[in-house]
Amino acid sequence: MTVQNRPQKEYDLVIVGSGIAGLSFALKVAEAGYRVAIFTKKTKAESNTNYAQGGIAVVTSAGDDLDKHVQDTLEAGDGLCDAKVVREILQDGPERVQDLIRMGVEFSSLEDGRISLGKEGGHSKRRVLHVKDITGKAIEDALLANIAAKGVDLFEHFFAIDLITAKKLNKLGMGESKSDRVEGLYFFDAEANEVITVTASAVLLATGGAGQTYLYTTNPSIATADGIAMASRAGLSVMNLEFIQFHPTTLHSLQGDRFLITEAVRGEGAKLIDAHGKPFLKKYHPLADLAPRDVVARAIDREMKRSGASCVRLDTPNMKVDFKDRFPNVYENCMKRGIDPTKTPIPVVPAAHYSCGGVPTSLDCSTKLAGLYACGEVACTGLHGANRLASNSLLEAVVMAHRGAESVCKYLAGQKKRSVCLPEWVDGDVPASDERVVLSHNLEELKRAMWDYVGIVRSTKRLERAHARLRNLRREINEYYWNAKVDVPLLELRNLVCVAELIVLSALQRKESRGLHFTIDYPDQTAKLKNTRVAPRT
């Protein structure tokens, strides 16, 4: 056994994650004079945020209003959004977008100088502000530039392993608080190859989504649901995790990577066509190609199963914009793969994209554990219900970060200086390289099981099959984890199997089809609305 005894880093607020949620939150709390640190597991820009294409949905034009945006969000959410939360978050949108503009985000504009508004599925109006099709990168760059000037410590290649809570300390006879609260965290420093302990009065989970639980996803490799797993292990229930959003249009590639073709392409007139070159969405929804995402993804799945084709196609001849100018990122990535989207219909398939559920929070990002906050895709506020409206995610993150920062400052003002010295990490004996092959097989099996049995169309039998496999995998991985010297792939695998099982348990709880959860065994909706909750895992 190796025990490291080194001086412990100490902060008022530790933020895990450097996407839009973590960076926006950090800026506001640092402005109030608190000691803030961001720890992020790869390089600082690597996040889902960095890949966002379509934009940020917010009411800015004269023909639009808050009620319409609220209504579209509620409809997409298929009855399960919290209407109060929806209104409160959406109404703050315009002010928060002004903050982004002040920080240097230059949203695309029309020739006459007015802001250019995109349209996406489920929106009754054009209201999506964008920077061509690289909106996420523009936001990430601007936030990082501002962070650099604010005195926030930013640590790259530090992987958050677990929260240290008062309850855990009490068990070790080291606690000073009777009620449970956050005391700090363990981080794996991937460059030094060791674990450090960090003391914090408050912690924000801003770790993003869970796309990597599936074989095919739009999400980058960081999206391994670490924050959800950490919160669950710290004693919190998770909410509505069955609602995994599949984006309808990702570039079909035999290599397995799934480059996103933004929905905004359909907003400018592109149409999905079947194996015979015929548009088919009208059969499924009056909004046809611009129906909410759950409807379009299911329709594609149905068409592919019916025809036996490996993809459908996105046809672009009637577009009202110059494709190359409006969608330079999509254009370049299609061309790289040998497809000229202005001449050939783009082969597309759905892929796992967004987690609508997560760690339940109040409207100030607080969770049920004192001192623990969650913001962005890791959190479940009630905004998205059973299916997120396009481009409401960046909006939610930036609005909630503002609200959460105000709340955390009040919490920190009420905290006394802590005297407790947190326990150091104790490593296992098994070198991480041992049984590496078994671990990568476990990862493949997990992702394959989620893709095959917990996808767009589900059944109780398939979910139970997935559950049986995941339960075994979890036992095997945990057994290895407790004896091994940790490294990033092992830590990610442990979190992925934890959250994959939480997704399946949530799906098994929902005995109806609603939004993104469609099961052939319960095709109708129940009259009684409910959010699913799955108890903490150890």
Based on the shown chain and the rule CB under 6 A, indicate whether residue 25 belongs to the binding site for ligand FAD. no
Q: Which does 289 bind (CB under 5 to 8 A by kind): ligand SIN, ligand FAD, none?
A: none
Query: Can residue 209 be called a binding residue for ligand SIN (CB under 6 A)?
Result: no
CB-closest chain residue to ligand SIN: 54
Nearer to ligand FAD, 247 or 271 (CB): 247
**Residue whose CB is less far from ligand SIN, 263 or 501:** 263
Q: For tokens 């909630």, what's the residue?
A: 400
Q: Which is nearer to ligand SIN, 393 or 442 (CB)?
A: 393
The reply to whether 515 sits near ligand SIN by the rule CB under 6 A is: no
Nearest Cα residue to 358 out of 211, 222, 481: 211
Q: Are 426 and 4 in contact (CB under 8 A)?
A: no
Partner whose footprint covers residue 40, from ligand SIN, ligand FAD, none (CB < 5 to 8 Å by kind): ligand FAD
Instruction: Return the residues of window 371-400 that contact ligand SIN according to CB under 6 A.
Output: 390-391, 393
Mark the segment that binds ligand SIN (CB under 6 A) among 198-206, 225-233, 256-264, 328-336: 256-264
Residue 22 is a binding residue for ligand FAD (CB under 6 A):
yes
DSSP run (H or E) holding 197: strand 194-205
Q: Round to whole Å and give the CA distance between 97 and 86.
A: 17
Rama region for 349: left / alpha / beta (φ>0; ψ in -120 to 50; rest): beta
Q: How far is the CB of 510 from ligand SIN (least distance, A)?
A: 23
Q: Which of 46, 82, 180, 263 binds ligand SIN (CB under 6 A)?
A: 263
Distance of CA 366 to the CA centre of its chain: 18
How many of the chain's residues bind ligand FAD (CB under 6 A)? Answer: 43
Q: Rg for the chain (alpha carbons), in Å?
A: 23
CA-based nearest residue to 220, from 229, 232, 230, 212: 212
Q: Is 392 left (phi over 0), alpha (psi -120 to 50) or beta?
A: alpha
Picked from ligand SIN, ligand FAD, none, the partner binding residue 263 (CB below 5 to 8 A depending on kind) is: ligand SIN
- CB contact at 8 A, 130 and 137: no
- The catalytic residue among 87, 127, 293, 403 is 293
User: Which of 169, 204, 241, 260 lies at the binding interface for ligand FAD (CB under 6 A)?
Assistant: 260
Question: For the chain, what percentages of helix, strand and coil (3-state, to nearest 5) are there?
Answer: 40, 20, 45
Number of residues binding to ligand SIN, judged by CB under 6 A: 9
293 catalytically annotated: yes
14-53: contacts with ligand SIN (CB under 6 A): 53
**Cβ-Cβ contacts under 8 Å for 371 (sequence gap 6 or more):** 181, 182, 183, 200, 201, 202, 203, 411
At 110, give phi and psi (nearest 5°): -85, 175
- Contact string 286-315 vs ligand SIN (x = CB under 6 A): ------------------------------
CA dist 466 and 223 (Å) reads 21
39 binds, among ligand FAD, ligand SIN, none (CB under 5 to 8 A by kind): ligand FAD
Q: Which helix (H) or strand (E) holds 11?
A: strand 9-16
Is residue 455 at the binding interface for ligand SIN, with CB under 6 A as the rule? no
Which range, of 73-81, 151-159, 164-172, 262-270, touches ligand SIN by CB under 6 A? 262-270
Q: By CB under 6 A, tell whether 135 contacts ligand FAD.
A: yes
> Judged by CB, which is closer to ligand SIN: 264, or 498?
264
Q: Confirm or reject binding of residue 264 to ligand SIN (CB under 6 A).
A: yes
The number of residues making up the chain comes to: 538
Determine the Cα–Cα distance for residues 163 and 376; give it in Å rounded to an integer.
18
- Residues 6 or more apart whose CB falls under 8 angstroms from that of 305 comprise none
CA distances from residue 117 to 33, 56, 111, 265 in whole angstroms, order as listed: 37, 10, 13, 13
HSE of 129, CA atoms in CB hemisphere, 13 A: 23
β-bridge pairing 9-16 and 194-205: parallel
Q: Which two tokens stand for residue 296?
A: 């379009």
The answer to whether residue 140 forms part of the interface with ligand SIN (CB under 6 A) is no
User: Residue 218 interacts with ligand FAD (CB under 6 A)?
Assistant: yes
In whole angstroms, the minimum distance from the beta carbon of 58 to ligand SIN comes to 13
DSSP strand pairing (128-129 vs 117-118): antiparallel
Q: Does 333 bind ligand SIN (CB under 6 A)?
A: no
| Span interacting with ligand FAD, options 39-47, 172-180, 427-435, 442-450, rule CB under 6 A | 39-47
Active site residues: 293
Residues at the site binding ligand FAD, with contacts judged by CB under 6 A: 16-22, 39-42, 46-49, 51-56, 135-136, 159-160, 206-209, 218-219, 222, 226, 260, 354, 376-378, 391-394, 397
Residues at the site binding ligand SIN, with contacts judged by CB under 6 A: 53-54, 262-264, 354, 390-391, 393
